Structure 1
Amino acid sequence: MSSDRLIYLPLGGAGEIGMNAYIYGYGKPGKERLILVDLGVTFPDMDGTPGVDLILPDIGWLAEHRDQLEAVFITHAHEDHVGAVAHYYNQLGAPIYARAFTANIARRKMSEFGHPERAVQTVSPWPEFTEAGPFKVGFIPISHSIPESSGLVIDSPEGRVIHTGDFKLDENPVVGEPFDRALWEEISAPGVKALICDSTNVFSPLAGRSESSVGPEIEKLVAGSKGMFVCTTFASNVARVKTLAEAGERAGRSICLMGRAMRQMIEASVETGVLKGFPKTVSPEDAKGIPRENLMLIVTGSQGERRAASAQLANGKYQGITLKEGDTFLFSSKTIPGNERGVIRIMNQFSEMGVDVVDDSSGLYHVSGHANRPDLEAMHKLVQPQILIPMHGEHRHLREHVKLAKSNRLNGFLAVNGMMIDLSGNKPNVAEYIETGRTYLDGSVKVGALDGIVRDRIRMALNGHVMVNVILDENDDPLGDPWCEIMGLAETGHSRAPLVDVLEEDLSQFLGRAGDRTLADDDKLEEGLRKIARQSTQTEIGKRPEVTVVISRMAL
């Protein structure tokens, strides 16, 4: 009996939506040859991660085992699947495999970081395979909300695993490949040990709608609009961007794309041949000279991003264009949970301008790129795996997906980030628990989520900051009184005296009472000054601020 094993280890995306990173390995325990499927990011919010630019998966375990890593395979070009490849290339160094469109996007990211573009290799879809150590990996076309999405067939000596990636069952997706039921039956026919399956829409009870179903409704809306028509969607949803542009063209409007991500996605789609017949566009400079009723803008910022085109227009002007009363703004997108506040803020700003805002509450102008519950059941029946492991979902999604699998008499197994699963034999088992978490891209550096940097930033934002300065002479006697500087705190409190004056008086009294041992010991002195500053601020204004103490001593 072989002592080799087949393992599955999610580092991101299992217990959350976004930041996908999944390891597969085969070999002797601890010495498995590894492949990584997807390496994505998720996005910060001002409440929990203020000032952070991006959130990346913690790849510490994988970096320690980089000599065992054969390759990285990217299923599609959404940021939560490809966004971290350039950030981590130096730490991993493995070749990256993707289909043409995804490879184009990945190379652009690598180029921005000065990494060799040749590290990203373009592969053809099924029936071609890429060999990576003990694995043979094939890309299986599947429909999603971005061109050339693929599931993966991962063959190992222990059997076949199918990793669906993000998917929906759309036989008419407008741009990209339709769902091919016969192809999926073919790859499933030899028998599938494990299906690692998208769980995003497991709670949606109705069968998913085709991307092609939104076109006629969007055309009606555009045709009936009088002023300028502006719309936003996910820049990566090339099919939707094309649908919007065609609706504008049929209504006799000139089309202008605004936002770097929007232009990049269309350029990559044209360069790789996945997009043909896109309507002619005009530049923002030329758009300024076109009558409002003859102009359509397709802009970035469907999720309320502060620096995107939608937010800039809501703030007043973007690239010389201003919205006015009688214009229409369409959100042809679903608001991702957590982004509601930013989107609603923009909607209200437009409303104050007199702009008519249309969202997807009617269900007419957007369809999801993920499989709904009936579609997941259809995939289960099509593949008929020995084991089903949900991925790409919050814990509640994964748990519900396991229940759904078991109701269909499948062996469902719940695995979250850091849980290494042994897929060998007839039953999955937890082999080990790996410490996982998040890494923050903070400016130009990466910091650990547990390093305390963002925690301190939040505490300062909530409680304000006091800096206390003290000078002592060579005999450890104070030279003058301490002085304070405050930030983010009210200037006066209950006593109606300036807060700084109150703090400096209380701190001066503390120094006058302090004994020689305290004055000679920086740690004890700092602790005492900090305590007094917090207590006094709490009494005056009801806040316990973060306190920085600077002690300067005169040289002997």
Structure 2
Amino acid sequence: MSSERLIYLPLGGAGEIGMNTYVYGYGRPGKERLIVVDLGVAFPDMDSSPGVDLILPDITWLKERRDRIEAIFITHAHEDHVGAVAHTYQDLEAPIFARTFTANIARRKMGEHGHPEDAVQTVGPWPHQQGAGPFQVGFLPISHSIPESSAMVIDTPQGRVIHSGDFKIDLTPGVGEPFDPALWEDVCKDGVKALVCDSTNVFSTHPGRSEASVGPEIEKLVSSASGMVVATTFASNVARVKTLAEAGERAGRSIVLLGRAMKRMVEASAETGVMTDFPGTIPPEEARNIPRENLMLLVTGSQGERRAASAQLARGKYQGIEMKEGDLFLFSSKTIPGNERGVIRIINQFSEMGVDVVDDSSGLYHVSGHANRPDLETLHDIVKPQVLIPMHGEHRHLREHVKVADAKGMKGVLAVNGMMIDLSGNKPKVAEWVETGRTYLDGSVQVGALDGVVRDRIRMALNGHVTVTVIVDEEDEPLGDPWVDMMGLPEIGTSNAPLMDVLEEDLSQWLGRANAKTLRDDDAMHNGLKKVVRQSAQNEIGKKPEVTVVVSRLS
């Protein structure tokens, strides 16, 4: 029996939507040569990660083995697959391979962070293969909601593995390559050891719809509008952006792109040649001089992001343009679970302006970029893998996908983040567990999930904060009374007295009773004063705030 093994290890994206990071390795246990497929991000929300800019995968395991990483391969240019490339480069410094469009986006990110753009190398589609240690890796075109999406064909000494990436089966995607069943059948004809497969839409039992099906419906909607039309979608879905722009152009409207991501994706599409004949656009400053009924804006912010163009228009003006009664706003996108609150807020703000909002509840103006269950089963039937490993989904998606595989007579393996699977031989098994988690990009620094920064921020948001200041003289005696500063707390408690006065009185009484030993001990002072504040606040407002105690000693 060979002493070498083939391993699969998800570090992000298996048990959650977003932050996709997958590792494959081959070699002796603990000595494997490694490749990484995707380095993505997830997006924060005010409930679980207030103030955070981005959420990155915890790559500690990879950093400790950076000398064994042969290469990083990026399946496509969505943020949850490419967004962490620049943030992690200084820790990994491995060569990055991607197809032309994805490489363009990745290089822009690298340049913004001061990293060498030539670390990102462009590779052609299948049948080209890139060597990476014991692996030969090819980019197999597959349709999705962004150009040049690819599955990874990973040839190993133990057999062929296919990593699907995000995909749908679309024969008429508009922009990007259509799904090619004959090509896939040829790639899989000699046998596939494992298919690591997208699971996002496993619960959707109806066949997926083509991107081509939304164009006529959008055109009818835009043509019937009497005021200005504003539409938002994922900026990366350049096929949809083009469909929207063409609908506006045919309706005799001038097209305006608003939002950095929207402009960047259209530019990248043109630079790399994946999209041609995009309708002409005008800058926002020219739009102010054009009648509203002759304007169509394509804007960022389909998920309710507070700083995106959609949210800013909903709050008033954006680059001198504002919405008015009788205008139309179209969400040509699906709201990702967790983003509903932000989207609904925007819809209500527009409603108060008299703007008519159309979302995708009718199913007419958006199609998913992910395979529904019938399309997943079609791919299963083409690939015919020995083993199916679901990825890109919450635990419920992965578990359901295993059930689908088992029902078709395939061996399904449920592997979540941190579960290393040994794919050697004919019986995959759990090899070991790896500690995984998330890293927060907080401003310009990265903090670990266990560092307590976000936890403390949440506790302050929930409970408010009190700062207690005490001055102690050279004789270790209090110099005057303690005073407090409050944030996020009501001014009046149940006693109808100012909360600040109550806290300061209780603190003064505690300080007056404190013995000489306590007054000399900073830790005892901190603990005692903190306990008084929390207990007094609990009595007055039913809440125990976070407390910071400052003891200043005169020397």
Q: Does TM, normalized by the shorter one, top 0.5?
A: yes
Between the aligned partners of 2:466 and 2:526, the Cα distance in structure 1 is 13
Rounded to whole Å, the distance in 1 between the matches of 2:483 and 2:225 is 63
Aligned partner of 1:115 in structure 2 is 115
Alignment partner, residue 177 of structure 1: 177
Paired residue for 2:160? Answer: 160
- What is the CA–CA distance in structure 2 between the aligned matches of 1:526 and 1:248, rounded to whole Å? 65
Q: What is the correspondence of 1:105-144 to structure 2 with a 5 Å cutoff?
A: 105-144=105-144
Matches within 5 A, 1:188-207: 188-207=188-207
Deviation at 1:510, TM superposition (A): 0.4
- What is the rounded CA distance, in whole Å, between the counterparts of 1:339 and 1:213 in structure 2? 26
**Aligned partner of residue 324 in structure 2, secondary structure:** coil
1:359-438 equivalences in 2 (<5 Å): 359-438=359-438
* Partner-residue secondary structure (3-state), 2:317: coil
Q: CA deviation at 1:201?
A: 0.2
Hey, what does 1:538 align to over in structure 2? 538
Q: Which residue in the other structure is 1:63 paired with? A: 63
Q: Which amino acid aligns with 1:374?
A: P
Offset of residue 270 of structure 1: 0.3
Deviation string, structure 1 residues 119-140 (Cα, Å, up to 9, x no partner): 0000000000000000000000
Aligned match of 1:87 = 87
**Corresponding residue for residue 350 of structure 2:** 350
Q: Does 1:45 align with 2:11?
A: no
Q: Which residue of 2 aligns with 1:220?
A: 220
For the residue of structure 1 that corresponds to 2:203, the secondary structure is coil
* Match status 1:302 vs 2:302: yes
Shift of 1:452: 0.8
Normalising by the residue count of structure 1, what TM-score does the alignment of the two structures yield?
0.99
**Partners of 2:408 and 2:64 in 1: how far apart?**
39
Q: Deviations over 1:50-81 (max 9, x none)?
A: 00000000000000000000000000000000
- Counterpart in 2 of 1:467? 467
Between 484-493 and 80-89, the greater mean CA deviation after superposition:
484-493
Q: What 5-or-longer segments of structure 2 have no aligned partner?
A: none
Q: CA deviation at 1:423?
A: 0.1
How far apart in 1 are the matches of 2:122 and 2:329?
Answer: 38
Moved more, 514-523 or 270-279: 514-523
More off after superposition, 288-297 vs 470-479: 470-479
Q: Deviations over 1:223-259 (max 9, x none)?
A: 1110001100000000000000000011010111110
1:500 to partner: Cα distance:
1.3
- Give, in whole Å, the separation in 1 of the partners of 2:466 and 2:17: 39
What is aligned with 1:273? 273
Equivalent-residue separation in structure 1 for 2:257 and 2:124 (angstroms): 30
Cα distance in 1 for residues equivalent to 2:218 and 2:526: 65
CA distance in 1, matches of 2:257, 2:206: 33
1:498 Cα deviation from its structure 2 partner: 1.6
Q: Alpha-carbon deviation of 1:153?
A: 0.3
Q: Any runs of at least 4 consecutive aligned residues in structure 1 with deviations exceeding 4 A, and if so which? A: none
**Aligned-pair CA distance for 1:484:** 0.9
Query: 1:496 deviation in Å?
Result: 1.9
1:3 aligned residue = 3
The one-letter code sitting in structure 1 at the alignment partner of 2:25 is G
- Equivalenced residue count is 555
Q: Which amino acid aligns with 1:378?
A: T
Using the TM superposition, give the Cα deviation of residue 550 of structure 1 relative to its aligned residue in structure 2, in angstroms: 0.5
Q: Aligned-residue CA RMSD in angstroms? A: 0.6
Shift of 1:485: 0.8
Structure 2: distance between partners of 1:164 and 1:408: 19
Q: Deviations over 1:261-296 (max 9, x none)?
A: 000000000000000010011110111111100100
Distance 1:546 1:463 in 2: 6
Equivalent-residue separation in structure 2 for 1:391 and 1:66 (angstroms): 24
Q: Which amino acid letter does the alignment assign opposite residue 547 of structure 2?
A: V
Name the SS for the 2:318 alignment partner.
Answer: coil
Inter-partner Cα distance in structure 1 for 2:459 and 2:17: 27
Give the Cα–Cα distance (whole angstroms) in 1 for the partners of residues 280 and 501 of structure 2: 66
Q: Using the alignment, how far apart are the partners of 2:353 and 2:475 within structure 1?
A: 67
Unpaired runs of at least 5, structure 1: none
Residues of 2 paired with 1:223 and 1:480: CA distance? 74
Structure 2 counterpart of 1:37, one-letter code: V
Q: What's the secondary structure of 1:193's corresponding residue?
A: strand
TM-score by length of 2: 1.00
Cα separation, 2, equivalents of 1:220 and 1:552: 71
CA distance in 2, matches of 1:222, 1:275: 22
Report the secondary structure of 1:121's partner residue: strand
Which residue pairs with 1:439 in the alignment? 439
In 2, Cα distance between equivalents of 1:482 and 1:84: 47
1:329 and 2:317 correspond: no
Amino acid paired to 2:82:
V
Q: CA deviation at 1:196?
A: 0.1
Distance 1:488 1:172 in 2: 54
Q: For residues 86-139 of structure 1, what are the alpha-carbon distances to aligned partners after superposition, in whole Å with 9 as ceiling and x for unaligned?
A: 000000000000000000000000000000000000000000000000000000
Deviations 1:189-213 (A, max 9, x none): 1110000000000000001000000
SS class of match (1:186): helix
Deviations 1:139-193 (A, max 9, x none): 0000000000000100010100000000000000000000000010011011100
By how many angstroms is 1:525 displaced?
A: 1.2
Q: Once the 2 structures are TM-superposed, how far is the Cα of residue 304 of structure 1 from its aligned partner?
A: 0.2
Paired amino acid for 2:412: G
Cα distance in 1 for partners of 2:452, 2:18 equals 23
**Residues of 2 paired with 1:487 and 1:326: CA distance?**
42
Instruction: Tell me what 2:73 maps to.
Output: 73
1:384, CA displacement in angstroms?
A: 0.3
Q: What amino acid is aligned across from residue 466 of structure 2 in structure 1?
A: V
**How far apart, in 2, do the equivalents of 1:430 and 1:512 lie?**
62
